[in-house]
Chains A and B, each alone.
Chain A
Amino acid sequence: MSRPGFVLEVDDRTPPLVVHEGEGFRLETFPLGTRVIYPPESLPAVPDVDQAIQHALRNPEGSDPLPELLFPGMRLTVAFDDLSLPLPPMRSPDIRQRIIEAVLTMAAAAGVDDVELVAANALHRRMTAAELKHIVGERVFRSFFPQGALYNHDAEDRSNLTHVGLTDQGEDVEINRRAAESDLLVYVNVNLVAMDGGHKSVPVGLASYKSLRHHHNSKTMVRSHSFMDHTKSHLHHSAWRMGQLLKEHLNIFQIETTLNNEVFPAPYDFLMKREWEWSIKDQGSMLAARRALSLAPARLRHKMFHDLRAPYGLTGVHAGDTEQVHEKTIAAVHRQQLVEVHGQADVLVMGVPYLCPYNVSSTMNPILATCMGLGYYFNSYRGQPVVRRGGAVILYHPLKPDFNQLHHPSYVDFYEEVLAESTDPAVIEAKHEQNYAADPWYVHLYRTSHAYHGVHPFYMWYWAAHAMDHVNEVIWVGADRRAVQRLGFRAASSLADALEMASDTVGRSPSITYLHNPPHLLADVR
């Protein structure tokens, strides 16, 4: 029986606690009285995954069973989440592989031979063949990739986009033409956190910039409280409107999966345990890991982390009508991640780990680290933010201004050119977004190389807009000072210094809350 998440109050007996900081972690001693929010322990996985998938496909929510939707001569498209989910990447076989194999088996049985598989990468980078193979599995990859029937969505291929229409609020809905013109679009999702899935799958993952700009903008982002609660997120409201329009034009069969909290494989599994419960073996692993990380050159350290494959277990699979499916999915996510928290804090402390959705096999640059900390982690709440309005956020990450030129070419320019001028999301959106979105070089790299779209760093910055609007102070501990300055924040060498700096805003005896993740948690702040 897994234990629920809970809130620890630091006292004399509390040992130093793990805080992630990029490709490493530290053991931090928190002031007495600090609240520490721990995620629930991992829920038990579904014992028979294939059976669960079959059950979901044959007994869907608000839809006919999948076999009844398939018929000879039809055009079937299977879209699936890209490598930004789950994090870290899942140990093979990926759950998407098992579902896609089941869908394709049913399609074959029904005599469907016009099938294409599309990675719903929106403006994310094109995945490599190896990355596609990891997601869909060897068998599917061999059957579809050489024929060109397994590919990445290209949001800049005008000839393969369809403008489906406008929502009642005038938002363009433009998605992948193949998907839009199929008799059935099956979408296979991994719902790692509450933000994912629902109408954020098809209308976002298969869309173009023309469509995405309606919800990926500073105004919408700053009013999404939070991204992890689709009922309160303006971003999701927009996606939902688009999804409802799409429902009128095409048949979508949504398959959503939820995972447990088995994020770290051995010997790093001590990172998922509560520190005072570490066994001798866990303590040995921790010491060995710290020693290895301190001795390893940067390249090896990078490899140690990025080679991790999470032993996630499936906690649920639901299929059918998008909205009905998503209700069940969200309930499953909440079972795994929700932690009840009473009241807001003056100071929120978060450790930003080595990985976010956009640096798989790549570098966590300062913009992505900001997005991870102030975007995803800050928004890991339901109800109200963990920190009060006007409070302070303290983050841990080295923030080295290192950029992967292959994956993040526009990030370099965004960092050097845009952030040097302003860090205000609304200002940079008005002045620079269009230029970056239409830059032919970025478009070329997005389409032919493995680069994130030119506009992507703007979106990363918008993710942090709500946090930047909500708190008065953002302080990074252990970070590159020049990078912090460029981002418009402040740098401290230790937690004590950071609290001293924050005292202007929150006083000398602030209430402090530390969000102890990963694994993923969602603070239900009452």
Chain B
Amino acid sequence: MLALEMYRSLPRHVAGKVVGGRVPGLLSGYAAPLRMVTIDQPAVARPGWARLRTRLSGICGSDLGALSGRTSLYFSGLVSMPLVPGHEVVADLVDDCEDLPEGTRVVIDPVLGCVARGVEPCAWCLAGATNRCDRITVGHIAPGLQTGYCSDTGGGWGQVLTAHRSQLHVVPDAVSDEQAMLIEPLACAVHTALRAQVRRGDRVLVSGAGVVGLFTTLALRSLTEAGQITVVAKHGRQRELARAFGATEVIALDGALRGVRRATGAFHVQPDFGPGYLLGGVDVAIDAVGSKTSLETALHATRAGGRVVLSGMPAAADLSAAWFRELEVVGSYASAGREPGAGDRPAFEVAAALVADDVLAPVDGAVASYPLYRWREALDHAHAAGRLGTVKVAFDPRSSR
């Protein structure tokens, strides 16, 4: 089968570290540790597992981070190489899988928890918090925090991958492939919105208006009683979508602190060196980018005792505000099988309901798909997605043009 394979390459990794942050598009397009290969299909050796044929698989910010060397080495022990990336997947079952017959269209919850690994369930998996699984490096499959980071399962950037029944969610007929592919990122956004523990009337800042930021805005508006939701957006299309998804106010990055200060009546402090910050600010801030600037914006715009949620994979940043303002810094990774804030329903189920909402209709036209062999173009497009008004760039391994 055809697949895009990520492999270990010290020179490319070093190049990524050195240049990736500055010109990630150039690097991932022409010097990424990624290649198009013909490989064997991943094998199904255990009950509960099945092969799937990919319809669409999205390019996530974490994929781009890994390819351009921006991902922390912390994760190097949680992946197995070489691997086929792609964890935002809509696919058809090639085999019967327990109660699901061959040909069923499904989306994948990419987390590879204890059940999928065939080990005794850890406390988190027992509690339904599969995204916190402590056993992601053991079991009968290679280490890998998710499908798309595990060498045994394959990923959505290949024609075929494997998944466990516990990962599969059936896609209703009324939902298009493009919509279905967005269920995974939307489930992450649902998890983020619930992790934020927003109370009635809370002021919330969403720093970033990529797909994570936009979907988090939608989830906040749909699932919480947030008051003012301020979204930091760079590009025109992002601003429009943020408003459509429920933002009360959309501001530019360079005016983010000023906008929050105005909205909250906070006091502004300008240190002798470095960026300014607020004394006062929003109740909850969500970093939906993971860059230093975005995370510091969230930290600097949150009131004392407020909460900062890390939704994007975080970069190194100045945490002084977290200490001085006694902020609660909360991580939000993937999504849980049981979300206490949503009546113990899986985040995927909540997301599947949201994805059919009319408010998401404009996003349908903002999904761009590429065949595998045009992967360089696809990655370039994904890097510039915000500027180009694209919400999601995806691979369609079935396509040859």
Give chain A's interface residues, CB within 8 Å of chain B.
412-413, 416-417, 435, 438-441, 444
**21 CB-based A-B contacts, threshold 8 Å:** A412-B258, A413-B258, A413-B262, A416-B255, A416-B258, A417-B255, A417-B258, A417-B259, A417-B262, A435-B262, A438-B265, A439-B262, A439-B265, A440-B265, A440-B267, A441-B261, A441-B265, A441-B266, A441-B267, A441-B268, A444-B267
* Chain B hits for A441, CB < 8 A: 261, 265-268
Beta-carbon contacts of B250-267 to A below 8 Å, as 1s and 0s?
A: 000001001101100111
CB closest chain-B residue, reference A409: B268
**Taking the nearest CB of chain A, how far is it from the CB of B86, in angstroms?**
40
Majority-rule SS of A interface residues? helix
- The distance in angstroms between the C-alpha atoms of A444 and B280, with both chains bound, is 14
**Taking the nearest CB of chain B, how far is it from the CB of A401, in angstroms?**
13
Give chain B's interface residues, CB within 8 Å of chain A.
255, 258-259, 261-262, 265-268
- The distance in angstroms between the C-alpha atoms of A440 and B268, with both chains bound, is 11
CB closest chain-A residue, reference B278: A441
**Taking the nearest CB of chain A, how far is it from the CB of B297, in angstroms?**
16
- The distance in angstroms between the C-alpha atoms of A412 and B255, with both chains bound, is 10
**Taking the nearest CB of chain B, how far is it from the CB of A294, in angstroms?**
32
CB closest chain-B residue, reference A417: B262
* Chain A hits for B262, CB < 8 A: 413, 417, 435, 439
* Chain A hits for B259, CB < 8 A: 417
**Taking the nearest CB of chain A, how far is it from the CB of B35, in angstroms?**
46
**Taking the nearest CB of chain B, how far is it from the CB of A316, in angstroms?**
46
* Chain A hits for B255, CB < 8 A: 416-417
5 interchain residue pairs of minimum CB distance: A440-B265, A441-B267, A413-B262, A439-B265, A416-B255
Q: Considering residues A413, A435, A439, A441, which has the most beta carbons from chain B within 10 angstroms of its beta carbon?
A: A441
Q: Considering residues B261, B262, B267, which has the most beta carbons from chain A within 10 angstroms of its beta carbon?
A: B262
- The distance in angstroms between the C-alpha atoms of A412 and B276, with both chains bound, is 15
- The distance in angstroms between the C-alpha atoms of A392 and B143, with both chains bound, is 73
- The distance in angstroms between the C-alpha atoms of A487 and B329, with both chains bound, is 41
**Taking the nearest CB of chain A, how far is it from the CB of B270, in angstroms?**
9
Besides A413-B258, A416-B258, A417-B255, 13 new A-B residue pairs in contact (Cβ under 8 A), listed by A number = A412-B258, A413-B262, A416-B255, A438-B265, A439-B262, A439-B265, A440-B265, A440-B267, A441-B261, A441-B266, A441-B267, A441-B268, A444-B267
CB closest chain-A residue, reference B265: A440
- The distance in angstroms between the C-alpha atoms of A438 and B267, with both chains bound, is 13
CB closest chain-A residue, reference B266: A441
CB closest chain-B residue, reference A439: B265
- The distance in angstroms between the C-alpha atoms of A441 and B255, with both chains bound, is 16
CB closest chain-B residue, reference A412: B258
CB closest chain-A residue, reference B262: A413
**Taking the nearest CB of chain A, how far is it from the CB of B233, in angstroms?**
14
**Taking the nearest CB of chain B, how far is it from the CB of A402, in angstroms?**
15
* Chain B hits for A413, CB < 8 A: 258, 262
- The distance in angstroms between the C-alpha atoms of A414 and B357, with both chains bound, is 36
- The distance in angstroms between the C-alpha atoms of A251 and B262, with both chains bound, is 41
- The distance in angstroms between the C-alpha atoms of A441 and B259, with both chains bound, is 13
* Chain A hits for B265, CB < 8 A: 438-441
CB closest chain-B residue, reference A443: B265
**Taking the nearest CB of chain A, how far is it from the CB of B326, in angstroms?**
21
- The distance in angstroms between the C-alpha atoms of A73 and B266, with both chains bound, is 46
**Taking the nearest CB of chain A, how far is it from the CB of B280, in angstroms?**
8
CB closest chain-B residue, reference A442: B265
- The distance in angstroms between the C-alpha atoms of A439 and B268, with both chains bound, is 12
* Chain A hits for B266, CB < 8 A: 441
* Chain B hits for A412, CB < 8 A: 258
* Chain B hits for A444, CB < 8 A: 267
CB closest chain-B residue, reference A440: B265
**Taking the nearest CB of chain B, how far is it from the CB of A432, in angstroms?**
9
CB closest chain-A residue, reference B263: A435
- The distance in angstroms between the C-alpha atoms of A438 and B262, with both chains bound, is 11
**Taking the nearest CB of chain A, how far is it from the CB of B121, in angstroms?**
52
CB closest chain-B residue, reference A435: B262
**Taking the nearest CB of chain A, how far is it from the CB of B364, in angstroms?**
29
- The distance in angstroms between the C-alpha atoms of A444 and B266, with both chains bound, is 11
- The distance in angstroms between the C-alpha atoms of A413 and B255, with both chains bound, is 9
* Chain A hits for B261, CB < 8 A: 441
CB closest chain-A residue, reference B258: A413
**Taking the nearest CB of chain B, how far is it from the CB of A313, in angstroms?**
44
**Taking the nearest CB of chain A, how far is it from the CB of B239, in angstroms?**
11
* Chain B hits for A416, CB < 8 A: 255, 258
CB closest chain-B residue, reference A438: B265
* Chain B hits for A440, CB < 8 A: 265, 267
CB closest chain-A residue, reference B249: A417
**Taking the nearest CB of chain A, how far is it from the CB of B294, in angstroms?**
20
**Taking the nearest CB of chain A, how far is it from the CB of B259, in angstroms?**
7
CB closest chain-B residue, reference A444: B267
**Taking the nearest CB of chain B, how far is it from the CB of A429, in angstroms?**
17
- The distance in angstroms between the C-alpha atoms of A295 and B265, with both chains bound, is 43
**Taking the nearest CB of chain A, how far is it from the CB of B162, in angstroms?**
51
- The distance in angstroms between the C-alpha atoms of A412 and B268, with both chains bound, is 14
CB closest chain-A residue, reference B270: A405
* Chain B hits for A435, CB < 8 A: 262
- The distance in angstroms between the C-alpha atoms of A435 and B261, with both chains bound, is 12
CB closest chain-A residue, reference B261: A441
- The distance in angstroms between the C-alpha atoms of A417 and B257, with both chains bound, is 12
* Chain B hits for A438, CB < 8 A: 265
CB closest chain-B residue, reference A405: B270
**Taking the nearest CB of chain B, how far is it from the CB of A427, in angstroms?**
17
**Taking the nearest CB of chain B, how far is it from the CB of A321, in angstroms?**
44
- The distance in angstroms between the C-alpha atoms of A435 and B228, with both chains bound, is 15
- The distance in angstroms between the C-alpha atoms of A61 and B268, with both chains bound, is 50
- The distance in angstroms between the C-alpha atoms of A413 and B265, with both chains bound, is 12
- The distance in angstroms between the C-alpha atoms of A444 and B269, with both chains bound, is 13
- The distance in angstroms between the C-alpha atoms of A438 and B263, with both chains bound, is 12
- The distance in angstroms between the C-alpha atoms of A169 and B259, with both chains bound, is 37
- The distance in angstroms between the C-alpha atoms of A286 and B267, with both chains bound, is 47
- The distance in angstroms between the C-alpha atoms of A438 and B264, with both chains bound, is 11
Q: Considering residues A438, A440, A444, which has the most beta carbons from chain B within 10 angstroms of its beta carbon?
A: A440
* Chain B hits for A439, CB < 8 A: 262, 265
**Taking the nearest CB of chain A, how far is it from the CB of B127, in angstroms?**
44
- The distance in angstroms between the C-alpha atoms of A440 and B279, with both chains bound, is 12
CB closest chain-B residue, reference A418: B262
**Taking the nearest CB of chain B, how far is it from the CB of A119, in angstroms?**
26
* Chain A hits for B267, CB < 8 A: 440-441, 444
**Taking the nearest CB of chain A, how far is it from the CB of B382, in angstroms?**
30
**Taking the nearest CB of chain B, how far is it from the CB of A198, in angstroms?**
36
- The distance in angstroms between the C-alpha atoms of A440 and B262, with both chains bound, is 10
- The distance in angstroms between the C-alpha atoms of A412 and B270, with both chains bound, is 16
CB closest chain-A residue, reference B279: A441
CB closest chain-A residue, reference B268: A441
**Taking the nearest CB of chain B, how far is it from the CB of A156, in angstroms?**
14
- The distance in angstroms between the C-alpha atoms of A413 and B259, with both chains bound, is 8
**Taking the nearest CB of chain B, how far is it from the CB of A367, in angstroms?**
16
**Taking the nearest CB of chain B, how far is it from the CB of A410, in angstroms?**
9
- The distance in angstroms between the C-alpha atoms of A441 and B280, with both chains bound, is 10
- The distance in angstroms between the C-alpha atoms of A412 and B261, with both chains bound, is 12
**Taking the nearest CB of chain A, how far is it from the CB of B271, in angstroms?**
14
**Taking the nearest CB of chain B, how far is it from the CB of A406, in angstroms?**
11
**Taking the nearest CB of chain B, how far is it from the CB of A454, in angstroms?**
10
